[in-house]
Amino acid sequence: MGKIQLQSVTKAFGGVKVIPDLDLDIENGEFVVFVGPSGCGKSTLLRLIAGLEDTTSGTISIDGKDATHLPPAQRRLAMVFQSYALYPHMSVRKNIAFPLKMAGRNKQEIDKRVDNAAKILNLADYIDRRPGQLSGGQRQRVAIGRAIVREPAAFLFDEPLSNLDAALRVGMRLEISELHQRLKTTMIYVTHDQVEAMTMADKIVVLRAGNIEQVGSPLELYTKPRNTFVAGFIGSPK
């Protein structure tokens, strides 16, 4: 579970093609990082996969099934938003439980899944606090917890650490990598931070103006960048 395929995907906003024609295969369990300069289409691509935007043409399949026209709730993907998307008036428990409540799950199952997520994320001691009483890193963990309880086929992260200070970012980066090793669930992670891309990814997708410039492991991109754009982005001194 967690295999995602994009075939000839295009996206236009008001006649402007932001994604001109894109093919991409993401394997089950991979940690894939989308990198590229601001405005190159990283968020749009993630939102297309999540179903938050409709494709203009092309197909998106998830685990071999055509998902192009499925609403977000039926794609079994969890988008992790930045921590400020938490509900300030709700406890950590209620914030994490929220998607399950919306899905109409019973209380016993909700409690079980929330407790499990809190344990995985070291949030058990903070479960009754509100977001305002937490550190930035703890808040980000709550946002991740809200995705974990849905047991998604893949997690989608859109620059989840960009709000955090440098020290916290390093810690959260390690936590997300650890989470991936533990859950072995497909993760797609958008960032413009080269260090995050190089240290977290199994596979890096370098985007430029909605096109894929190169796809490869961090080592491949570092040692064999296809052009100066990729080299400049990955930071090899070529």
List contacts with ligand ADP (CB under 6 A). Answer: 13, 18, 36, 38-44
Smallest gap from Cβ 113 to ligand ADP, in A, equals 31
Q: Which of 28, 43, 56, 194 binds Mg ion (CB under 5 A)?
A: 43
Tell me the Ramachandran region of residue 155: left when phi exceeds 0, alpha when psi lies from -120 to 50, beta otherwise. beta
Smallest gap from Cβ 67 to ligand ADP, in A, equals 20
Q: Are 177 and 200 in contact, with CB atoms under 8 Å apart? A: yes
Smaller CB separation from ligand ADP, 21 or 115 = 21
Smaller CB separation from ligand ADP, 11 or 139 = 11
Distance between CA atoms of residues 40 and 212, nearest Å: 10
Smaller CB separation from Mg ion, 43 or 82 = 43
Smaller CB separation from ligand ADP, 15 or 88 = 15
Identify what 59 binds: Mg ion, ligand ADP, none; CB under 5 to 8 Å per kind.
Answer: none
Distance between CA atoms of residues 201 and 43, nearest Å: 17
Residue of 179, 181, 174, 96 whose CA lies nearest to 134: 96
The stretch among 40-48, 167-175, 191-199, 230-238 that binds Mg ion (CB under 5 A) is 40-48
- Residue 181 DSSP class: H
Cα-Cα-Cα-Cα dihedral sign, residues 88, 91, 97, 103: negative
Smallest gap from Cβ 156 to Mg ion, in A, equals 12
Q: Are 184 and 29 in contact, with CB atoms under 8 Å apart? A: yes
Can you spell out the DSSP letters for 40-51? SSHHHHHHHHHT
Smallest gap from Cβ 16 to ligand ADP, in A, equals 7
CA 70 to chain centroid, in Å, comes to 19
Smallest gap from Cβ 122 to Mg ion, in A, equals 28
Residue 25 has a CB neighbour count (10 Å cut-off) of 14
Smallest gap from Cβ 98 to ligand ADP, in A, equals 25
Identify what 75 binds: Mg ion, ligand ADP, none; CB under 5 to 8 Å per kind.
Answer: none
**Binding status of residue 211 toward Mg ion by CB under 5 A:** no
**Binding status of residue 28 toward Mg ion by CB under 5 A:** no
3-state SS of the chain: helix, strand, coil percent to 5? 40, 25, 35
Identify what 40 binds: ligand ADP, Mg ion, none; CB under 5 to 8 Å per kind.
Answer: ligand ADP
CA angle, 169 then 170 then 173, to 5°: 80
Smallest gap from Cβ 22 to Mg ion, in A, equals 16
Smaller CB separation from Mg ion, 43 or 163 = 43
Residue of 158, 133, 124, 96 whose CA lies nearest to 176: 158
Smaller CB separation from ligand ADP, 1 or 195 = 195
Helix (H, G, I), strand (E, B) or coil at 156: strand
Q: Which residues bind Mg ion (CB under 5 A)?
A: 43
